[in-house]
């Protein structure tokens, strides 16, 4: 399990990403998929009719499963990571923020893209799409993306609201080749703008993109509503609306509404064959890498 350091102590995002990915790969070595997982980009499951000369017999000897060696043109994939940088992503104000967690997860994915010769790109959004890089697989481009991530990691909260639907429409308009789009967001606008979000997700799928939506949450506070039995002052980070209340008085109603909201979001994603993953900051960031590999395997 990787413990993400406090934002003020992160000095080298690339180093952290490399350590996480290398540890993740070591863990795969110990899994039942030993051999396949480490060289994921160079293998696929054997299908009837495949030329036997391309079977990796060493891998077969280790796990009794047949995998075919893949060529570079088969393995290249364009991967766009869209990162929500709105005000709500700066929650909580102490400890690891959603934005920090997402930046580390994105850096780890970029490092994995590099190892697999996949082309990586970054997009940042809040009230709209603010930046979109090209998708490339070179080492120089990888370092440029890491620099961009570190800038976002250390930026101050600018009080920007979230318009996920507008940003995803703009992203869909600007990506012209079939790609994998990975979104990190806490989706604060999904409840009020459900139809608009559904339309944006449909736009991505209509353009033949595969999508993974990582719904970034603080599970203890946002899902379980776990607070002490005393008065609190809650402040909406995007509207600055203030609510003074004892959490115990509204916990049952809050959890009911949160469950309904998450169900609607899940239904929207299911309608469009989008992978919706709850990304609890209390869980190891390696879960993000595992989900990516599962998705990539399906696509290939």
Q: What is the pLDDT of residues 284-300, one digit of tens each?
A: 888 898 888 888 777 76
Asked if the model's pLDDT at residue 131 lies above 90, the reply is yes
> E-strand spans in 145-245?
180-185, 210-217, 232-235, 242-245
Q: Are 110 and 287 in contact (CB under 8 A)?
A: no
- Rounded to two decimals, the pTM is 0.81
- Residue 141 belongs to what H/E stretch? helix 139-153
Burial class (CB in 10 A: 0-12, 13-18, 19+), 245: exposed
CATH code, residues 76-299: 3.40.50.410
Mean pLDDT of the chain: 84
Q: Provide the pLDDT for residue 52.
A: 77
Domain residue spans of the chain: 28-72, 76-299
Cβ proximity of 15 and 299 under 8 Å? no
């Amino acid at each position: 399990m990787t413990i993400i350091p406090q934002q003020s102590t992160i000095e080298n995002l690339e180093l952290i990403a490399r350590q996480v990915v290398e540890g993740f790969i070591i863990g795969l070595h110990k899994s039942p998929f030993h051999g396949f997982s480490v060289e994921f980009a160079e293998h696929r499951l054997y299908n009837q009719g495949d030329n036997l000369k391309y079977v990796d017999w060493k891998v077969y000897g280790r796990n009794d499963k047949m995998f075919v060696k893949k060529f570079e043109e088969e393995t290249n994939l364009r991967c766009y990571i869209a990162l929500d940088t709105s005000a709500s992503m700066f929650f909580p104000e102490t400890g690891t923020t959603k934005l920090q967690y997402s930046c580390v997860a994105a850096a780890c994915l970029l490092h994995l893209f590099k190892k697999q010769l996949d082309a990586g790109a970054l997009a940042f959004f809040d009230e709209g799409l603010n930046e979109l890089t090209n998708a490339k697989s070179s080492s120089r481009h990888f370092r440029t993306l890491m620099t961009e991530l570190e800038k976002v990691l250390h930026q101050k909260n600018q009080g920007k609201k979230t318009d996920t639907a507008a940003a995803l429409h703009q992203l869909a308009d600007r990506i012209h080749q079939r790609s994998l789009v990975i979104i990190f967001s806490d989706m604060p606008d999904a409840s009020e703008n459900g139809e608009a979000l559904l339309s944006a997700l449909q736009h991505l799928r209509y353009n033949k993109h595969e999508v993974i939506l990582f719904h970034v949450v603080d599970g203890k506070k946002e899902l379980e509503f776990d607070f002490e039995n005393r008065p609190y002052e809650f402040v909406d980070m995007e509207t600055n609306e203030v609510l003074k209340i004892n959490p115990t008085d509204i916990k049952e109603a809050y959890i009911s509404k949160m469950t309904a909201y998450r169900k609607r979001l899940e239904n929207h994603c299911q309608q469009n064959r989008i992978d919706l993953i709850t990304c609890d900051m209390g869980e190891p960031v390696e879960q993000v890498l595992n989900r990516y590999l599962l998705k990539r395997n399906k696509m290939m």
